[in-house]
A and B are shown apart, each in its own frame.
Chain A
């Protein structure tokens, strides 16, 4: 520290001011969240009704209607995505945790982080080029696969982290008892880490549940009830987007309601995952 001599009083004052600035920064950073949640609750809650969950969208000009098809579509897409993202992600995570230092492990760990930062719209055009263009039409399957691909890096990294938390002694005990390596890995290590991996999976699902961009040219959206995997399918984020940029007040109301449902879904999953981890790893949460 090459400070020139300054009075202690001045240094103390600077200290106090900077402490104040940090406090204000923390407060200001939390404000957007408060505003967004408050507006969502205010604008969305009044439009939520049984109709919203059970009815289909109505044509412009007609009041009422709901987003039943979008909610069902989102669940279908999340289902397909999980079927792809979970096994691949957990498998890769197992490899990373067990072969920590191989060249492949170092590369995969790094590339998973890089893949995680890939813009979701790029995943969208990739899925279109790879899955939609050859087939000739949009489909739920293409949307689900695009979302599943986005889950892979997330699940891979959390699986690895969770497996690393399993005490080595447990693994050694199993091996000492004559378990083979693969049975130790699956029956002891993976099972012990399972709650943590479930948490990671939930976080990944919550992340992709709100993704819109990868669905624009894959699932594409559908005004009608459809759960067919080879046909376009509606999804909550797509519907919110379409309604938000429309000029109709009735649709704006539905967009807010849809956003409230979507955020509730995401927050419930996030909170749930936090609770699972906390009770599992002794409440420190760090």
Chain B
């Protein structure tokens, strides 16, 4: 390769820009962990298991936030996944060509709506509907009031509200990835199933979905990553209480929302460090989740080519 000095400089400059990405990620992790260190050192592993949140005595535990983050995200996935897969299969297998683009565009638009707008809509539209229709329906009509999951008064701001809004918010991510990996399934795979006499549904179930499975799982995990870290809409709807309650009607808290609510007003250095520690836990979990998801999706889309 003949390369002029200009080529070498050009390559050096673009390489430097490329290094910005890993450096940025490393810097973020380093700064957050350093800032969280005092809290980790003070509380040790108790930080993850304690439910105390006493600013005066300086006792902080993140258990309610970890619980709230996990439960709201998992519930959101349970709500969003069937819908998202339905949309993805519809778009890749059933939809007439003229409908494909508009529907895909509309679902993708859900991802373009800012989190704070979801929160606003949630406060003034979703919460009243949940409080006046959905919660009474679950508790009384279905008689679930006596289970620990749907007990207590229905105020509105609750784990359930957070899960519903999160479900809507992660739906486009899951459906976009699923659509992509379904599209990557080779045509011959479909034709073979049809030639063997399968109906269209049997073809999807037995020939298309198994081929794309790990990519779909990757998409769902990607959605999980989004749900875990989602901040504004959850902060506005979950009720923000430092307590673990089994009831989905009760308010809760998440790692992201406690940071959003308390960070600017934290008075003691330990309080700030504790919130940083919440951020560090969130960072660690989302990093792992994202790495796994990307790996799964990559594997499928590479095989499909």
Query: Are A244 and B123 in contact, CB atoms less than 8 angstroms apart?
Result: yes
- Cross-chain contact of A263 among B95, B114, B202 (Cβ < 8 A): B114
Q: With the chains together, A262 CA to B25 CA distance in Å? A: 29
A-side interface residues, number (CB < 8 Å): 93
Contacts of B275 in A (CB 8 A): 125
Known: A15-B200, A26-B90. A121 touches B229 (CB 8 A): yes
Interface residues of A in 103-141 (CB under 8 A from B): 104-105, 107-108, 110-115, 117-126, 128-130
Task: Convert B72-106 into 0s and 1s, putting 1 for each residue whose CB lies closer than 8 angstroms to a CB of A.
Answer: 00000000001111110111011100000101011
Contact between B228 and A15 (Cβ–Cβ < 8 Å)? no
Distance in angstroms from A265 CB to nearest chain B CB is: 10
Q: How distant is A225 from chain B, measured CB to nearest CB, in Å? A: 21
A129 proximity list for chain B (CB < 8 A): 31-32, 34-35, 276
Which residues of chain A are near B204, meaning CB under 8 Å?
18
A25 with B13, Cβ < 8 A, contacts A95-B18, A117-B290, A130-B27 known:
no
For chain B, what secondary structure do more than half of its interface residues adopt (helix, strand, loop), or is it mixed? helix
Contact B230 A26 (CB under 8 A): no
Q: Is the CB of B117 within 8 A of A121?
A: no
- Whether A181 lies near B264 (C-beta < 8 A) is no
Q: Is the CB–CB distance between A121 and B256 below 8 Å?
A: yes
Kindly supply a per-residue 1/0 record for chain A positions 246-284, scoring 1 wherever the CB is within 8 Å of any chain B CB and 0 otherwise. Answer: 000000100110010011001100100010000000000
Of B110, B124, B286, the contact of A117 (CB 8 Å cutoff): B286
* Total contacts A-B at CB 8 Å: 275
What residues of chain A lie closer than 8 Å to B236, measured between beta carbons? 241, 244-245
Q: Is B56 an interface residue (CB 8 A)?
A: no
CB distance from B221 to the nearest CB of A (A): 10
- Picked from B22, B117, B283, the residue with its CB within 8 Å of the CB of A118 is B283
CB of B175 closer than 8 Å to a CB of A: yes
* Contact B95 A117, beta carbon cutoff 8 Å: no
Partner among B17, B101, B119, B290 whose Cβ is within 8 Å of the Cβ of A91: B17
Contacts of B202 in A (CB 8 A): 1, 3, 11, 15
Cβ contact within 8 Å between A210 and B113: yes
CA distance A221 to B76 in the complex (A): 31
Which of B4, B91, B94, B231 has the largest number of chain A CB atoms within 10 A?
B231
- Contact (Cβ within 8 A) A216 B120: no
B226 CB to nearest chain A CB (Å): 7
Q: Are B25 and A241 in contact (CB under 8 A)?
A: no
Given A108-B22, A212-B115; 19 other pairs, CB 8 A cutoff: A1-B206, A33-B107, A35-B121, A39-B125, A43-B124, A94-B17, A107-B22, A114-B25, A119-B286, A121-B260, A121-B279, A122-B286, A123-B28, A126-B28, A126-B31, A126-B32, A207-B112, A210-B114, A244-B236
List 14 A-B pairs, Cβ < 8 Å: A29-B83, A35-B121, A92-B20, A114-B25, A121-B259, A125-B32, A125-B279, A129-B31, A182-B6, A185-B10, A207-B112, A210-B116, A213-B260, A255-B120
